[in-house]
Structure 1
């Protein structure tokens, strides 16, 4: 059995924690489950999206890795991301069998990926 249980947290570096918290609260349509002066965490479908002003010091290039957050209607979310001021990073692409992907740059310079994958269902079991 693998010692890895899957993605647990995706942490974005931000320069203004309060501004980022407000933006992501609007985007995710939920309040953070953890809110401190040095870190804010959101529960997104059982996974953590974290905002960390200290991470900005170690992130030199956001394009290296892209975390894709699952959505049920990618076209609607692309429109919403545009309305919230995110900049398009990668157009909606059908990567096969109806799986759609797109990406944006959030107002803080992080790449935020969207994926509509009708086949992927997050596991409900824990392998710890």
Structure 2
């Protein structure tokens, strides 16, 4: 496994207000939907998620095999916070937590 962190997703309660702040910093988003607003910052994705579960931003590690990476982390003692779900064609994400409750995001197939 050779994961790369390429995105950070921020849970938000007021998408319009938060989008105004991030747009002032990063410019217009490349994706501007009611369920997700995304910014490309020099090849790094910053996303705003109004359906997030709170707990702060989640950095997502891109992995080749989401299920294998998830299983390895669960076997090592991580707990599941958000089960895998499809977010785009060929892309699934899930969020686990380490022993202190810190989120670990995985993004892959």
> Which of 1 and 2 has greater Rg?
1
Q: As a proportion of its length, which structure holds more strand?
A: 2
Q: TM-score, normalised by structure 2?
A: 0.50
